[in-house]
Copies of this chain bind each other. A is one copy, B any other.
Amino acid sequence: MIRDITGFSNPLVKRLRSLREKKHRKREGLFLAEGLRILTEARDSGALPEILVLSDDARPHPLAEELIEQTLAAGGDVIRTSAEILSKITAKDNAQALVGVYPDRPTPLAAIDRSAAPLWFVAQAMRDPGNLGTLMRIGDAVGAGGVILVDDCVDPFSVETVRASMGAIFTQAIVPTEWNEFLGWLRTGEGQLVGTSLNTTHDYQGPRYAAPTFLMIGNEARGLPEDYEQACDLLVKIPMLGRADSLNASVAAAVMAYEVVNQRKTATT
């Protein structure tokens, strides 16, 4: 059954709004995702929302109808409310007409099957939600397994990150851990740890990358700490032909990741 909510002061509205904050997400183990495209992506990846909120002034869309039915069939709640209240929930003007509440699903490091994918990202102290979400989206595009988060990264389940991921939050494993824990785990099996660095002259197209490749992406402002660089099996550099000395973190990740997958493509043809 679809339930209607009309008041801003409704406790559920307050609860949903609170999910914009990390502490409330943590406590509830839930996060918000917006928009028909991302919610359909989630469904196709096997995730249905615990709560589906829709705007009462939205034109009915066949895909939205499907989502409503499937959410109800799976025991979830479906709430209809005003576009204004939806905007309040996601703190965005012109909010999407659909918002879903999903259980967060961090993957423990020990649960990763590293050989299930040829490539994994390791984000180190990544601070920008747009970068982290874009990294997930790139991971999906290149067939990566997921993003391992070390040090003080931005919350992977924030509204902004989920938005930038364009649904990849549901297809990529999200693995929050610590650097030492990650390094210990890495060395118990196969895996080449690759960092991009200004402190090397090795062009990124030089080496043949070994699967699974673990690509480290350093903090946006500072890059990788020196001892992290030393722990890498390979340090490489993306050529910079102009005045700037670096690329945006997610852009550099994409250039590296496509080099890795392109090498595999060449190897198999």
A residues touching B (Cβ–Cβ < 8 Å)?
41, 44-45, 130, 134, 137-143, 164, 166-168, 171, 205, 238-244, 246-248, 250-251, 254-255, 258, 261-262, 265
Contacts and interface: CB of A to CB of B under 8 A. Distances in A.
Given A140-B242, A168-B242, A254 B247 contact: yes
Contacts of A141: 238, 240-242, 244, 247
Nearest to A205: B262
A141 to B, nearest CB: 5
Contact of A243 (B45, B250, B254, B255): B45
Contacts of A265: 205, 239
Contact of A134 (B137, B243, B251, B255): B251
B142 A243 contact: no
14 contacts: A41-B243, A137-B244, A137-B248, A138-B251, A139-B242, A140-B242, A141-B238, A164-B248, A166-B246, A167-B244, A239-B261, A239-B265, A248-B250, A251-B254
B166 A244 contact: yes
Contacts of A142: 241-242
Contacts of A138: 247-248, 251
A261 to B, nearest CB: 7
A77 to B, nearest CB: 26
A134 B247 CA distance: 8
Given A130-B130, A238-B258, A262-B205, A168 B244 contact: yes
Given A139-B242, A255-B255, 14 more contacts: A41-B243, A137-B248, A137-B251, A138-B247, A140-B243, A140-B244, A143-B242, A166-B246, A167-B243, A168-B242, A205-B265, A239-B261, A254-B254, A254-B255
B130 A243 contact: no
Contacts of A166: 244, 246
A175 B248 CA distance: 23
Contacts of A261: 239, 241
A248 B134 contact: yes
Contacts of A140: 242-244
A143 B238 CA distance: 13
A247 B205 CA distance: 22
A94 to B, nearest CB: 13
Nearest to A243: B171
A136 to B, nearest CB: 10
Contacts of A246: 166
Contacts of A167: 243-244
A67 B244 CA distance: 19
